[in-house]
Amino acid sequence: MAYVDVLQGEIVKVSKIMSAPVVTVKMDDNLYRVHEIFQKHKFHHVLVVDGKTLLGVISDRDLLKAVSARIGSNSADARDMASFQKKVYQIMSRNLITINLNDSVLQAVRLFNRHAISCLPVVDDNKHWVGILSWRDIFRQIEKMKDSRAS
């Protein structure tokens, strides 16, 4: 079933609005690397991969739960900073719900509504990761279409 945008009358595929390229990490990377990525790029999810094989996802919330709450404060000590040495594989989500790049945005919305997730790794027909889709990507597309209609 295709998503026909009522504003523009077109089918909107995931590939049109997904975020790509994606910054990724490996299972053995430490959480400090993930922290640096989130700080530098200002996004909320990172894919855990081995080559083109998708292994998991880490969200900024996963990271916050895994490291000491005192990090970034004056009271942080060496033990708090050591929590950054945990490995990605220790906190990543492994039971992934993915979406194909040729699926419709409506299919993505259905997945977001049916599951407690905040991003969908986007895969190709070979199940290789190619991007990531968040509900924010969908909202940006709606705003963009609304703005172009108003012009």
What structural domains does the chain harbor?
A: 14-150 (3.10.580.10)
pLDDT at residue 10, rounded to an integer = 61
Q: Is the pLDDT of residue 3 over 70?
A: no
52 SS3 class:
coil
The CA–CA distances, whole Å, from 15 to 83, 124, 134 equal 36, 10, 12
Reported pTM? 0.85
pLDDT tens digits along 74-89: 877 788 788 889 999 9
Q: Tell me the mean pLDDT in the region 111-130.
A: 96
Round the average pLDDT of the chain to a whole number and report it: 88
Better-predicted residue by pLDDT, 50 or 73: 50
